[in-house]
Structure 1
Amino acid sequence: MSIEIEIGRGKRGRRAFTLDDVAIIPARRTRDPRDVSIEWQIDAYHFDLPFISAPMDSVMSPETAIAFGKLGGLGVLDLEGLWTRYEDPQPYLDEIAQLPAEQATARMQEIYAEPIKPELITARIAQIRDAGVTVAGSLTPQRTQEHWKTVVDAGVDIFVIRGTTVSAEHVSTGDEPLNLKRFIYELDVPVIVGGAATYTAALHLMRTGAAGVLVGFGGGAGSTTRRTLGIHTPMATAIADVHAARRDYMDESGGRYVHVIADGGLGTSGDIVKAFAMGADSVMLGAALARAEDAPGQGFHWGHEAHHKNLPRGRRVEIGSVAPLEQLLYGPGKSAIGEVNLAGALRRALATTGYVDLKEFQRVDVVVTPYSTHAEV
């Protein structure tokens, strides 16, 4: 039962919780980690890991998408990024990594002003497809109508429509908005769409026919949406709300299952584990993968919002490099701060609480903690 709190005489608000506000409680049973499965499947595509890469230039290049796919995850390429604007984006990636902090945003706006080239979309998708891994590409809602046919014709397996927030009821007195329901119905590939932050918004996105809904708004290491727009969603509550929307949509639709994918603010293995405990089927990782030594960002991380031409709502942040991608995912870990061996940590958490797979783990007991875990010593 939700309880509203009186903020002042003229405004009431619902109490919401971040992932730092909750903790997982062990049960009476434990298991051997070797008996635990963290596999994930969406539509006809099966993955050894329930990890999706965030479509950001600092996280995924065609080469890292291929490597990530071969390691068991789903690499999503940003089809509005440097890889579809420049034949050879490496000099620009090198430049971004070397820019002084005070110049980074302005220079990135200039670099990303280069137009997107449809032939490069085709070439990058073909490169990933030729490597034999599942191909996923991402467009923002604003660019989907312009480029979707190029993406589908190039042979993408999973289409991602990702924005800071995506609505099934976008209203515009200027351009004709993207009709998500019609678009998804006419497409022959599964679509993942988001972000959504509330029960109602997620339910409406599920009704469009999406295969998965991204959960999150204004989170992540490089986002300043909360400071710029004053908009933010505490992730524990958001995931739980969307999980409830999926449950109700299954009843409404006669059993159609839509995947809940947590997206944003999942920088450590503990955050990832708690996202699954709150009801996620998979997680989209940005900073957690940008820390790989072979990530394109070279120890820096940024997203779409960081180079918006009029209102930047993000920034380039230095997060450092901690390990090669394979070690980052599978270990061995060399520190105890939750940045390396992400798969091992998730597997260990399921075993410690007595669950054999991620669907079961969504039933794990949690408590609201009286302190932020960042304050622990």
Structure 2
Amino acid sequence: MQIEIGRGKRARQAYALDDIAVVPTRRTRDPEDVSLSWQIDAFTFDAPVIGAPMDSVMSPDTAIALGRMGGMGVLNLEGLWTRYEDPSPLLEEIAHLESANYSPENTRRLQEIYSAPVQAELITERLAQIREAGVVVAGALTPQHTQQFYKTVLAAGVDMFVIRGTTVSAEHVSETQEPLDLKKFIYELDVPVIVGGAAGYTPALHLMRTGAAGVLVGFGGGASSTTRRALGIRVPMATAISDIAEARRDYMDESGGRYVHVIADGGLGTSGDIIKALAMGADAVMLGAALARAEEAPGRGWHWGGEAAHPEMPRGDRTYVGTVGSMQEVMWGPGHHTNGASNLMGALKRAMATTGYTDVKDFQKVEVLVAPDSRSHRA
């Protein structure tokens, strides 16, 4: 149903996760009976959590730690870990920049730090470190640099390849350079590919047709992204997930049963957000700020994405998210916070048990209500 904004423009009503509430059912379960496992391609995980490829969240060490806790960490292959042999002093410096948001000085310094070239040998070294730990090896490139570095990534033995950008299109058009042909590229690879972001039914359906194993929903960045302010682009997350879950269903019919995983990416700062994202139809979530609060996170309580250091059009902030406990406490507890910042998986188990579901796939069928929050301003 469309709403008339003015005589010349009509639009759909869209909802953020804060506008949605999950409804309990007549049947409840014991949380111990709930399974959070999910599978993408040949890989099975104990938790439907992917660590966002952001330098404030994922280092080789935190990717390994998350993998051992049942999730999958994705290393940013265009980040500090592949630009510098030892990025620790720079991470320390970023953590001690001016505390205010919207600081041109902070942005300028980030741009300087990220102007160092990506080194192919460091991509190989970092991925080898993760592989040696015996967890699933996943790395991310932006569409702009995929052609340049993907052979290095594959030679390093990556298990899962992620192509992540603010908006990724299956039909990018350029008059100045040869665009990445996603369908041809994915077809020629021997590893599963997760691609995004996408925020609508049609763009997601086209990405599914490229052969992607998973589609990221959203523009990424979440708490640290200023895409809405800088570009005026935003699709509230609850609506975006629901639309793309419908594209998944239609693509299954079109393809004769091929299932593409829907992964919510951005604006998932609390356990409640994670729960509602899965309720709207996501198979898993990609977490940035929620994991940046772990004591082991490279950002030391600060959170930023690659968009914050774009050389020409920065659209992200270095945001303070604080520290709430170890990665173990953030993921599996015990929790010591009442605001949904710790024991994320324990909260998900309890929500599923309260609504009578014992696996994530079935939980996508849970009843939800529209309960608009006047304070809601997130995607």
Taking structure 2 as the reference length, the TM-score comes to: 0.97
Q: Can you list the C-alpha shifts for 1:39-71, whole angstroms capped at 9, x where unaligned?
A: 111011111110000000000000111111011
How far did residue 335 of structure 1 move? 1.6
User: Does the 8 Å contact 1:218/1:225 carry over to 2?
Assistant: no
Match among 236, 239, 247 for residue 238 of structure 2: 236
Opposite residue 341 of structure 1, the aligned amino acid is N
One of 49, 55, 63 as aligned partner of 1:51:
49
Instruction: Report the Cα distance in structure 2 between the residues aligned to 1:154 and 1:285, rounded to whole angstroms.
Output: 25
Determine the structure 2 residue equivalent to 1:12. Answer: 10
Q: In structure 2, give the amino acid aligned to 1:184.
A: I
Are the structure 2 counterparts of residues 348 and 157 from structure 1 closer, same or farther at C-alpha, using a change threshold of 3 Å? Answer: same
Equivalent in the alignment of 2:88: 90
Alpha-carbon offset, residue 370 of structure 1:
3.7
Given that 2:331 and 2:344 are in contact with CA atoms closer than 8 Å, whether structure 1 keeps it comes out as: yes
Amino acid at match of 1:288: A
Q: Which letter maps to 1:129?
A: R
Superposition pairs for residues 59-208 of structure 1, below 5 Å?
59-100=57-98, 101=100, 102=103, 103-208=105-210
How do 1:351-362 residues align onto structure 2 when only pairs under 5 Å count?
A: 351-362=353-364
Per-residue CA distance 1:172-198 (angstroms, 9 max, x = gap): 001100000000000000000000000
Q: Secondary structure at the match of 1:75?
A: strand
Write out aligned runs for 1:320-359 (5 A).
320-359=322-361
Q: Cα RMSD (Å) of the superposition?
A: 1.0
Residue 374 to residue 204, structure 1, CA distance change in 2 (3 Å): closer
CA–CA distance in 2 between the matches of 1:131 and 1:373?
43
In 2, Cα distance between equivalents of 1:17 and 1:189: 35
Query: Could you tell me whether the CA contact under 8 Å between 1:21 and 1:373 is conserved in 2?
Result: no
Deviation at 1:251, TM superposition (A): 0.3
Question: Match for 1:60: what amino acid?
Answer: M
> Aligned partners of 1:219 and 1:298: how far apart in 2?
17
CA distance in 1, matches of 2:8, 2:375: 33
User: 2:218 maps to which residue?
Assistant: 216
Is the contact between residue 19 and residue 376 of structure 2 (CA under 8 Å) also seen in structure 1? no
Q: 2:371 aligned with 1:369, yes or no?
A: yes
% identity of equivalent residues: 71
Task: Please show how residues 239-254 of structure 1 align to structure 2 within 5 Å.
Answer: 239-254=241-256
Do the aligned residues in 1 keep the contact of 2:165 with 2:220 (CA within 8 Å)?
Answer: no
Q: Which contiguous aligned blocks of 4+ residues in structure 1 show a shift greater than 6 angstroms?
A: none
CA contact (8 A) 1:225 1:231 kept: yes
Structure-2 separation of matches of 1:115 and 1:190: 27
Q: How many residue pairs get matched?
A: 373
Q: In structure 1, the residue corresponding to 2:72 is in which secondary structure?
A: coil
Whole-angstrom distance in 2 between the partners of 1:206 and 1:285: 22
- Distance across 1 between alignment mates of 2:251 and 2:376: 35
Distance 2:284 2:44 in 1: 12
Matched, 1:42 2:40: yes
**Deviation at 1:218?**
6.2
Match in the other structure for 1:275 = 277
User: What is the letter of the counterpart of residue 203 of structure 1?
Assistant: L
Shift of 1:146: 0.3
Give structure 1 stretches of 5+ with no counterpart.
Answer: none
Give the structure-1-normalised TM-score.
0.98
Is the contact between residue 53 and residue 285 of structure 1 (CA under 8 Å) also seen in structure 2? Answer: yes
